[in-house]
Structure 1
Amino acid sequence: MMQPIRFRMGASEWSILILLSILWGGSFFFLEVALGELPPLTLVLCRVGLSALLMVAFMVITRRTMSKHRGLWPALFLLAALNNAIPFSLFAYAQTHIASGLASILNATTPLWGVIVAHFLTADEKATPAKLAGVSIGIVGVAIMIGGDLWTRLDGDLTAQLACLVATFSYALAGVYGRRFRTWGVGPLEVATGQLIAATVLILPLALLIETPWHLPFPGTQTLLALAGLALLSTTVAYFLYFSLIQRAGATNALLVTLLIPVTAILLGTLVLGEVLRPRHWAGMALIAAGLAAIDGRLFDRFRRRPVGPAQTG
């Protein structure tokens, strides 16, 4: 019997969300490194192609097979377009014009689109004042973490920034669309594998026709390592976790990961590179935590459910 979606996440769902934020936070760094030698579509092709090979190899080794559900592959191709081909290409293009930090900030608008899309396209993930308030608070927190130079950065390449926003809207559509595989009995591993195969098929002709990658020099060690991290960690492992989270906690909750990505990026910079956290970073993280708490709802329920003392009688 299929377990119901837990829209109020527990410890295991929050753990997956945090791990996802670390894996996808690293993707912006890997992209920045790899784009030094590879054009956008070729980079995306390498990312999804390598990830598809890894997923297929795992399926073969573990003797798993794809579901025979009618209509599965057309649905996977649409999911691949919304979740891989379109957003990956747009973000790769954008990062040839704007910094990876700004791209990750714009990526944090995804849960706002997710709340809106889920409200109109689902019956059980309607927008609530708490959700809207929580996402808005979280986005303000992201902006505060970046500081006063955010507005200067937003005066940069407008086309690249719009590309990021279109990509986040596509992610939101994909998050809601991806829910259907659960009702078909298709597991997260099958969805991730099929999606990456389909994405490779979609991107391959575009990369070959537009960028003729066979004319490019062979990439250096740094680029190859970035591709490995991008394919193995930020795509293969991340998508298995992502579709697991959608099936367990719903699309709106899964898309909250994009609010955490700038937080993990700054924390990793502090722990790994010795960067110093400034007061605005702590303030921004506090607002993001408040936003997530508002969306989760349990903290506020405790205040609403406080027992009321006996009525006074005169």
Structure 2
Amino acid sequence: MSHSENTSKNWSFLIILALVWGSSFILIKRGLEVFSPGELGAYRIVAAATFLLPLSLPRVKYLKSQQIQNLILVGLVGSFIPAFLFAKAQTQLSSSLTGVLNALTPLFVVVVGAIFFKSRITKRNAWGLLIAFIGVIILVTVKEGSGFGALTEINSYAFFVLLACLCYGFNLNLIKYRFIELKPIEITAISLLMVLPVALIYLMAGTQFAYKLVSVQGAWTALGYVTLLGVLGTALALILFNMMVKTASPVFASSVTYLIPVVAILWGVWDGEVLLLGHYLGIAAVILGVWIGNRKKVTATS
């Protein structure tokens, strides 16, 4: 494939993923109207992994033990743990702000890469981290009716999103540097298969998921939203994402988060969420920080 074709493909993936993942936060919001964060996170994984079983089961027997270990790790940090963290965060955060905080992923890619994969943090990266951190502080201290809240009023649920971004930072670097021999579809399908048993056991034995389906009004509608979230937002989107990671730099791939906040905010405003002036200042600082920290590293091919 030529350089121009590769570049066009990567940018196409970037736009599609921004639309899909930017819509994920409103789907989580709808699912939480019926299900608990644990139920939503577990079923999201079950839906995604089940959808990909025809692809994962025939391939898993050909893997080496080291590959299986790495895929279990990718399943945990790339899908399983973030699914629970985002659901928990949105019990106290709007879908718009959750989407904005998710934009910090590229900076976590840089930090994790520097600490664990021997990459280098430049002055530009450091400035980006500082500006984005200021944006996060603004976002988590904005309080309706009083401008900026006091430090004691920080919305701690934002830290669930930051932890999810840290997981994604590990995931991106793992996929880029530890899976040279595997195809993107194998990484996605098998990593989800690795965490499927845990998600399924927890969902059926540790929650009221089955009971809610037969007793709570609107449960099946909420189930539809979370199924869409799992199949599109996790399974199919991860295939596209991993394909992009294999042909682009990790930072370019994670830059889909530049566009996710725009989509998330549009959905949030459409759904009646209110953003204050402080929110917009925080949003601007986060996106500016991410852009500054990665602007010369974002290239379509590695």
Residue 257 (str. 1) matches residue 264 (str. 2): no
Q: How far apart are 1:226 and its partner, in Å? A: 0.8
Residue of 14, 17, 32 corresponding to 1:35: 32
Aligned to 2:74: 79
Equivalent residue number for residue 205 of structure 1: 201
TM-score, structure 1 normalization: 0.74
Looking at structure 1, the residues matched to 142 and 227 of structure 2 have their Cα atoms a distance apart, in angstroms, of: 35
Task: Give the corresponding residue for 2:21.
Answer: 24
Q: 1:51 to 1:154 in 2, by over 3 A?
A: farther
Instruction: Indicate whether 1:295 and 2:291 are aligned.
Output: no
Distance 1:201 1:152, change over 3 A: farther
Does the aligned pair in 1 maintain the 2:25–2:264 contact within 8 Å? no
Secondary structure of the 1:78 match is: helix
The one-letter amino acid of 1:87's match is P
Residue segments in structure 2 that go unaligned for 5+ positions in a row: none
- Residues 185-224 of structure 1: matches in 2 within 5 Å? 185-218=181-214, 219-224=218-223
* Matching residue's letter, 1:35: L
Gap change, CA 1:72 and 1:297, over 3 Å in 2: same
Match of 2:98 in 1: 103
Query: What is the DSSP-based 3-state SS (H/G/I as helix, E as strand, rest coil) of the residue aligned with 1:127?
Result: coil
Matched residue SS, 1:216: helix
Which residue identity is paired with 1:24?
W
User: Cα gap change, 1:261/1:57 in structure 2, threshold over 3 Å: closer, same or farther?
Assistant: same
Matches within 5 A, 1:257-276: 257-267=256-266
Aligned residue-pair number = 287
TM-score by length of 2: 0.76
**1:178 partnered with 2:172:** no
Q: Kindly provide the amino acid, as one letter, of the partner of residue 111 in structure 1.
A: P
Distance 2:242 2:9 in 1: 14
Provide the rounded CA distance (Å) in 2 between the counterparts of 1:283 and 1:167.
19
- Letter of the 1:39 counterpart: S
TM-superposed CA distance for 1:22, in Å, is 1.6
Q: Tell me, which stretches of 5 or more residues in structure 1 are unaligned?
A: 300-314
The 8 Å contact of residues 23 and 238 in structure 1, kept in 2 or not, is answered as: yes
**Alignment CA distance shift 1:12-1:129 (3 Å):** farther
Please tell me the residue identity of whatever aligns with 2:80.
A
Paired amino acid for 2:197: V
How far residue 134 of structure 1 moved from its aligned partner, in angstroms, is 4.7
Amino acid at match of 2:79: N
In the alignment, the residues of structure 1 paired with residue 160 and residue 271 of structure 2 have an alpha-carbon distance, to the nearest angstrom, of 30
1:235 is matched with 234
Deviations 1:177-227 (A, max 9, x none): 2224432x1011000001111222232333344324233233544313312
> What is the Cα deviation at residue 18 of structure 1?
2.6
Q: Which amino acid aligns with 2:247?
A: R
Indicate the percent of aligned positions where both proteins have the same amino acid. Answer: 25
The equivalent of 1:65 in structure 2 is: 59
